[in-house]
């Protein structure tokens, strides 16, 4: 039986890839409309660890701060490959929209030019105000930058437009690598 509200959801699923520029734009739009992600790392025993993080982005590159004494920080210091899960609120199948970012995490140490540049992306001022701290200069905390190697983007509304709901992004020149 076809959906009355969204008949395109029960129709055969298209398999057409979204043009790269449109895919990048939709991923950036998702990143800009949310600010929480679930960071997946691996502990010393090989167990997965999922941690919520507040993030900000520049293009498809994601930035977040991490307490230097936290398990997630120790995990990503030990192994730089990480995954981030980001999703929009779910209010039914037609609203499904999210992405998984698979990439390399680098820690930017306070006092370095890279850290200063990254803190221009990361909106530290609101966190400082929330915590009752001065909003004069960025806090001297490690900043983590995740450079994507692959992004799996899912948006059910793409089916209505004739595209596959699940799309995969890779850096330019690596599109055909599996």
Domains of the chain with CATH codes: 13-169 (2.30.110.10)
With a CB cutoff of 8 Å and minimum separation 6, the contacts of 143 are 63, 64, 65, 107, 108, 110, 115, 118, 119, 122
> CA angle 131-32-56, nearest 5°?
45
- Read off the pLDDT of residues 45-69 as tens digits, 9 standing for 90 and up: 999 999 999 999 999 999 999 988 9
- Read off the pLDDT of residues 6-24 as tens digits, 9 standing for 90 and up: 888 888 899 999 999 999 9
- Reported as a pLDDT band with limits 50, 70 and 90, residue 175 is low
């Amino acid at each position: 039986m076809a959906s009355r509200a969204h008949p395109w959801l029960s129709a055969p699923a298209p398999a057409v890839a979204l043009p790269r520029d449109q895919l990048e734009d939709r991923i950036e739009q998702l990143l800009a409309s949310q600010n929480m992600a679930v960071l997946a790392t691996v502990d010393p025993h090989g167990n997965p660890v999922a941690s919520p993080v507040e993030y900000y982005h520049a293009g498809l590159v994601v930035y977040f701060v991490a307490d230097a004494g936290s398990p997630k920080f120790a995990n990503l210091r030990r192994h730089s490959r990480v995954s981030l899960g980001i999703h929009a609120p779910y209010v039914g199948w037609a609203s499904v929209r999210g992405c998984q970012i698979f990439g390399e995490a680098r820690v930017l140490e306070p006092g370095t030019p890279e850290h200063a540049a990254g803190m221009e992306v990361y909106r530290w001022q609101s966190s400082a105000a929330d915590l009752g701290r001065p909003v004069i200069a960025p806090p001297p905390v490690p900043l983590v930058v995740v450079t994507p190697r692959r992004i799996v983007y899912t948006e059910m509304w793409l089916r209505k437009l004739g595209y596959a709901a699940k799309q995969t992004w890779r850096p330019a020149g690596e599109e055909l690598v599996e």
